[in-house]
Amino acid sequence: MRHRPFRQVDVFSGASYRGNPLAVVLEGGGLDAEQMQEFARWTNLSETTFLLPPDSPEADYRVRIFTPLTELAFAGHPTLGSCHAWLAAGGTPRDPDHVVQESAQGLVRVRRDAGLLHFAAPDPVLEPVPEDLQAEVSQALDLPESALIGACWIDNGARWMGLLLRDVETLRAARPQSAVLRALGVKAGMCALHPRRDGEEPVLEVRGITLTQQGTAEDPATGSLNAGLAGWLSRESVLDTPYVAHQGTGIGRAGRLFLTRDAEDRLWVGGAVRDGVAGTVLL
C-alpha cells in the first residue's frame, strides 16, 4: 500500500455540493480490478475512478470506472470529473483544444469552454422495450397508466431504460419500488419536458433511478443517461439540442447539464466541475 493522490469532485452543478460527487484516484497503477472494486465499494459513491497511463498513443490518460457493484465501460460524470482532477493535478493535454480520455468504451474527447467541461457523447444503441415490460416498470415506479408516452433501451456503455412521461408533475410524483426494479434489473431514466415559452431554451427534467447494493438510489446528475436521452428524443423528433437538463431536484440537488451539437452533428454533454476534497488515499 502507498499514499496516492486523491480528489473528490462535484460534477454537473454551478453551486458547490449540489451536483454528483465522484472519487478519483489519480495514480491507479499497480492496483488490480479486485482492489479497485473494493475501494469503490468502500467510498459508496455512484462511481469511483482510477487514472492510469494510456494504452492508445492518442489518449492523454486512461480511466477505469467502478460503481460499488461493478465496472463500467463508460459514464458521463466520471468522464468530466476525472478530466477535471487530471487537469487540476497538472495534466497537460497533447492537443490544447481537447483532452482525450481512454476508457473501455474507446476514446472520448473533452473540451473546455467558458468554465465548463463538455464530453463528446458516444453514439447510443437504442432498442425497443416490450410493452409488457413497460407496464411492469410503470407499476414499479407507481405511475398512472396514462403517464408513459414512450420507452426505449439506451446503451452507451451504461444501460438505462429511458422513459418519457407526460409532464413534470407526474415525473416528480413517481415513487420507485426498489425490490421490483431490482428484480427486473432495470435502471430507470425518467424524463419530461417543462412547459416552454417563446424564445426560451427547452428544459428537460430528468430522474435517474440506479441499482445499488441495498436496492435503488436516485442519481443527482447523470451524463450517460442524459446523453442517451438526447439521442433517443432527437430520433423521435421530441426534442432537439440545444437544451438544458435539470436533475436531482427531488433529492435536494441542482444538477445542470447542457446538451449541444457541433457542426458535424456530434452531441456534447457539458457542465461545471468543482473541487470538494483533495489529499491522498492509502491504497
Tell me which residues are annotated as active site: 47
Query: Distance between CA 245 and CA 190 in Å, rounded?
Result: 12
Contact 250, 217 (CB under 8 A): no
CA angle 254, 261, 203 (to 5 degrees): 35
List the grid coordinates of 31.
Answer: 492496483
The percent of the chain in helix, strand and coil, each rounded to the nearest 5, is 20, 40, 40
CA angle 134, 190, 80 (to 5 degrees): 130
Helices (H), the chain: 33-43, 76-88, 131-140, 168-173, 178-184, 223-235
